[in-house]
Amino acid sequence: MKTSFIQAKSILNKSNIGGYTLNPYTGCSHGCVYCYNQHFIKIIKPKEKWGQFLEIKINAPELLEKEIAGKYKNKKDRVFFSTITDPYNPFEKQHQLTRRCLEVLSKHKWSVDILTKSDLILRDLDIFKQFNKKISIGFTITTINPYFALFLEPDASMPEKRIEALKILKKTGIKTYVFIGPILPYFTNLKEIFEILQNNADYLLLDTFNTKKENWQGLEKILKRHYPSLIKEYQEKLCLNRSEYEQELKEKINILSQTYKIPVKILF
Ligand code: SF4
C-alpha cells in the first residue's frame, strides 16, 4: 500500500442525496473485490490502482473546523462518512483523522452517519455518546460466512466481529443499521442475515450488484478461481434477466422484513 500525506483543499462535499460527505482518506485497504470505487477512481485518479494507495488528508480536522466556523456557519447539517474510503480503515488507528473530525462535528452539534466494515469503530464509543442521538452507525454485511468473506473482503473485519460491534453499539442506545450490499447471488444468504440481525439493527438497507466494468472484473476474477460454475448464474441474474431477478429479490426481502420485523429500505 502506497501511502502519502496530503493537505486537502476542502473537506465537506455536498451530497446529491442531502447533507455532506466527508472522506478523511482517499483509498482503502480492505480489498473488497466488488468495490465500486475501482470504477470511480479510474475517472478521478486514472494513474492510481484502487486498493494500492491511500492518501491521508492530514489537515482534515482543522479544515473541517475552519469550514464549519466559516462558510457553513449557522448551519447544522448531516455528514456521511465516507464514500471513497472506509473511515475506520487500519490507518485510522494511528492517524485518528475520523476520530478528530467527529470531535469537531460533535462540538458544533452536527449530525453524523457512519458506514464501515471495521470493528475499530468501537474505539470511538465515547465520542458517539456525545452526539446525543444525532448519530447513526451502519455496518456493511455482504455475507456472514467467514470463508466467503475471506476472499470477497479479505482485509475488512470478519462479519462476526462487525455483528459483535453492532450489538455493542445498539446496546448503548445508538441508532444502528446494516447495509446488505451488494447482494451477491450464492454468497449473500439473506435469511441467515435477517435472522442474525433481528433485534440488533434498527433498519436495513439493501442493494444489488451493479456490474460496472472494474468491479465486475474484480468479482469475476474471484469467481473464476473459486466458483467458475457461478459465472453463468451471475450473467443470467445480473445481466440477461435482471428485472426478473430483482423483482423476485424484492418479494423475498419484503417477506423476510415482515417475518423478522426489521424495517427495510430497498435501494434498487
Ligand atoms: S470497505 Fe468499502 S471502500 Fe473499502 S474496499 Fe471495501 S467497499 Fe471499497
**Which residue in this structure is represented by grid cell 500500500?**
1
- Calculate how far, in angstroms, residue 235's C-alpha sits from the geometric centre of ligand 1: 23
pTM reported for the whole predicted model: 0.95
Q: Kindly indicate the confidence band of residue 215, based on its pLDDT and cuts at 50, 70 and 90.
A: confident
Q: How many CA atoms, within 13 angstroms, populate the side-chain half-sphere of residue 35?
A: 26
In ligand 1, the atom with minimum distance to the C-alpha of 31 is 5
- Calculate how far, in angstroms, residue 159's C-alpha sits from the geometric centre of ligand 1: 14
Average the pLDDT over 131-158 and give the result.
96
Element (H, E) at 115: strand 111-116
- Calculate how far, in angstroms, residue 71's C-alpha sits from the geometric centre of ligand 1: 30
Chain centre to alpha carbon of residue 44:
20
To test the ligand 1 pocket, which listed residue (1, 25, 32, 157) has its Cβ within 8 A of the most ligand atoms?
A: 32
- Calculate how far, in angstroms, residue 30's C-alpha sits from the geometric centre of ligand 1: 6
pLDDT tens-place string over residues 90-139: 999 999 999 999 999 999 999 999 999 999 999 999 999 999 889 999 99
Ligand 1 pocket by C-beta < 6 Å: which residues?
A: 28, 30, 32, 35, 37, 85-86, 117, 156
CA pair distance 75, 73, nearest whole angstrom: 5
Q: Kindly indicate the confidence band of residue 214, based on its pLDDT and cuts at 50, 70 and 90.
A: confident
Which residue's alpha carbon is at the smallest distance from atom 4 of ligand 1?
Answer: 28
Which residue's alpha carbon is at the smallest distance from atom 7 of ligand 1?
Answer: 35
Q: Is it the case that residue 243 has pLDDT exceeding 90?
A: yes
**Tell me, what's the pLDDT at 39?**
86
Q: Is it the case that residue 40 has pLDDT exceeding 90?
A: no
**Tell me, what's the pLDDT at 30?**
95
Mean pLDDT over the full length of the chain: 95
Q: Is it the case that residue 44 has pLDDT exceeding 80?
A: yes
* Domains of the chain and any CATH numbers: 2-266 (3.20.20.70)
**Tell me, what's the pLDDT at 185?**
96
CA pair distance 101, 125, nearest whole angstrom: 14
88 in Cβ contact with 51 (< 8 Å):
no
Q: Is it the case that residue 42 has pLDDT exceeding 90?
A: no
**Tell me, what's the pLDDT at 58?**
98
In ligand 1, the atom with minimum distance to the C-alpha of 28 is 4
pLDDT tens-place string over residues 50-97: 999 999 999 999 999 999 999 998 888 999 999 999 999 999 999 999
